[in-house]
Amino acid sequence: MTALRKYQRLECGGLWRETPQDQRREVLVRFGEATLILSDPKSGEALSHWSLPAVERVNKGEDVPIFSPGPESTESLELDDPDMIAALDAVRAAVKAAIPRPGRLRGLMLGATAAGVVALALFWLPGALVRHTASVVPPSQRAEIGQRVLDDLVRVTGAPCDNQLGLQALARLSERVFGPVDTPILYVLPEGVERPLHLPGDAIILPRQMIEPMNGPEAVAGAALVERLRMRASDPMLPLLRHVGLRATFQLLTTADLPTAALTGYGEAALRAEPLPVPDDTVIAAFEAAQIPVTPYAVAVNPEGTVTGGLAERDPYKGLAPSPLIPDESWIALQGICSP
């Protein structure tokens, strides 16, 4: 998305609906690095985050464009600001350009590419093919693959918690931790998730038990922050491609298509995988930069202190009372995110 940096500070008004049955609501729309952020124009409270590569127009040919965060979403956003519309059109054009097109020339090129890759595969280690494939998957397809993994995961965990006030509080916490531009998409799953994990497309999964029994949002904020560090330390496409195997990886490289059958079971495998360790110095620096105390996170993930005791000892905010990450009413709403 680097070609779209000129839009990163773009803001405008819009009309948002959570579901088709709801009344339209005025929102402030802000163009981030990887997300479209919808917030209340009066309070500034974040209402929803949309993954930019997944945004699509749902009323082609009509005068006032309406956008959605994906084909399965019930949300919609009506816009009349020409700059914002142009920005979203640019995103959609970039996504469309990344999708391979049929045709004779493309067929010839794919054939040559396939032959070359087959020849190279005789000499490359399987890991080299996986690394190369991961390096060429565009952001739009990463977001789509991440959504498919989430769909596989919810077979085990249940659908993401979706209490509206809780989602607004979650979006607000995400913006507080990561800033208004480079904000990942956070999901809370109701069961079966013992620790945070991340998916391709800048998505972070958080367990329900890191929210409901806690005294404040510091532990779950810290968990999201550390998971983002893991995501940036190692490409999340790598373990996924190792799971699907060389045949599916080769198909993704040559046809830009990943078979659904190959992804089946990966969500459960991701739940069982050991998390990538992150150096204490890196964790401490990230918490200090985000102005989040480390101790609540350290205690939440390892109450005995056998693994994270060093983090608690080096907490830059130890003994201090930093300002709340989100207002008390938002924290209460976040604790109820899995409520009906």
Tens-digit pLDDT profile for residues 162-219: 898 999 899 999 999 998 777 888 999 999 898 999 999 899 999 999 999 999 999 9
**Exposed/middle/buried for residue 214 (C-beta within 10 Å: 0-12, 13-18, 19+):** middle
Give which of 165, 83, 139, 152 is closest to 337, Cα–Cα. Answer: 165
Strand 185-189 relative to strand 76-78, pairing: unpaired
Which residue type is seen at 21?
Q
Q: Is the pLDDT of residue 7 over 80?
A: no
Residues in the chain: 340
Q: If you ran DSSP here, which 8-state letter would residue 45 be given?
A: -
Both tokens assigned to 98: 């990344």
What integer pLDDT is reported at residue 123 of this predicted model?
A: 46
Domains along the chain with CATH numbers? 2-98 (2.30.29.30), 104-136+238-267 (no CATH), 140-234+276-335 (no CATH)
Which residue type is seen at 34?
A
At residue 125 the predicted structure's pLDDT band, cuts being 50, 70 and 90, is low
Type and span of the H or E element at 56: strand 56-57
What integer pLDDT is reported at residue 110 of this predicted model?
A: 55
Q: Is the pLDDT of residue 2 over 50?
A: no
Q: Is the pLDDT of residue 124 over 90?
A: no
